[in-house]
Amino acid sequence: MNNLLAVKIGNLPLQNPIMPASGTFDTTLEPLIDFNQLGAFVTKTFTQSRRSGNALPRICEVSSGMLNAIGIPSKGVEHYISDVVPFFNRYQPPLVASISANTAAEFAQLAEILTDVKGIAAIEANISCPNIEAHGKAFAIAADSTKKVIKMLRRATPLPLWAKLTPNTGDIISVAKAVEDEGGDAIVVGNTLLGMAIDVKTRRPKLGNIMGGFSGPAIKPINLRMTYQCFKHVSIPVIGCGGIETLNDVLEYLLAGATAVQVGTANFIEPTIMTDLVQQLTDYCQANNIKSMTDLIGQVDDTPFEPYTALS
């Protein structure tokens, strides 16, 4: 284990702070990168039962990023336990199971099933997904629906519980506090921003679902700002995610208060990006006399700037 980069998410130790963002990484990367170099594995969100996902097309490129509306196709929990868990357990990094459900009770039921499965180190509750009891609004849009689902999840499982928040909320601080109040172990900030693209020749939306999640470099300032706000207002670890492509992006998230980061869209452009970032972060720390990640995490110098006093 490379101690220089080691971090802890609650009680879960990670050898380094770099991990994939759910849905942007899977077993097919195995021949391309050394999986043992990652901080953790976060797998594609799955649901308890099988579901087929959204109509095609499910992704499209836009300026500075991409849109996706995959719709969480899922082979169900039995497949996850029989195929996905054993695959990743051949490697050292801890396995984080990203889960989704239509209701708080269904979330809790799935978490309870996973609790008894050997080889799952943490649950990432993708509460950025639609809540059927709130007319399809994502659980993490509001503090009250977040409270309800995290409370039920917390009762259902003693496994480390991460909550993945949505930047589509207008009140990220209240939502993050709701996770902390109900016993969540970490928050992931965050998921995609709701977007849309139209093919002007056909006048058809570019996504089968019409709207979809916007990800990539353009969303970095938004999710970085929310990471900073959450770090300032909750004491559980914050995991930053959104638009990370370079070492500079990783450093910004760490300085803003992220204990670890997730890399998403960039995996599609450069499949070796995550292990490249681990190496670049190691080199940066060595070159800059950084002894541990605590020298970086939350270390942005945000002392107030001098007031502007000149007359206009």
Ligand X SMILES: Cc1cc2nc3c(=O)[nH]c(=O)nc-3n(C[C@H](O)[C@H](O)[C@H](O)COP(=O)(O)O)c2cc1C
Distances (CA, A) of 74 to 52, 67, 102, 278: 6, 20, 13, 30
> Would you say 20 or 307 has its CB closer to ligand X?
20
Compute the chain's Rg from CA coordinates. 19
5 binds ligand X (CB under 6 A): no
Instruction: Pick out residues in 228-267 that bind ligand X (CB under 6 A).
Output: 241-244, 263-266
Q: Is 8 annotated as a binding residue?
A: no
Least Å distance, CB 288 to ligand X, is 25
CA nearest neighbour of 56 among 202, 186, 205, 192: 205
Catalytic site positions: 129
22 binds ligand X (CB under 6 A): yes
215 binds ligand X (CB under 6 A): yes
Instruction: Pick out residues in 273-312 that bind ligand X (CB under 6 A).
Output: none
Query: Distance between CA 135 and CA 156 in Å, rounded?
Result: 24
Type of residue numbered 63: S
Q: Is 257 annotated as a binding residue?
A: no
> Would you say 44 or 147 has its CB closer to ligand X?
44
Lay out the site mask for ligand X across 161-180 (x = CB under 6 A, - = otherwise).
Answer: ---x----------------
CA nearest neighbour of 125 among 59, 207, 63, 184: 184
Instruction: Pick out residues in 69-98 that bind ligand X (CB under 6 A).
Output: 70, 72, 98
DSSP-derived letter for residue 141 is G
Query: Distance between CA 136 and CA 132 in Å, rounded?
Result: 5
- Residues near ligand X (CB under 6 A): 21-24, 44-45, 59, 66, 68, 70, 72, 98, 126, 164, 191-192, 215-216, 219, 241-244, 263-266
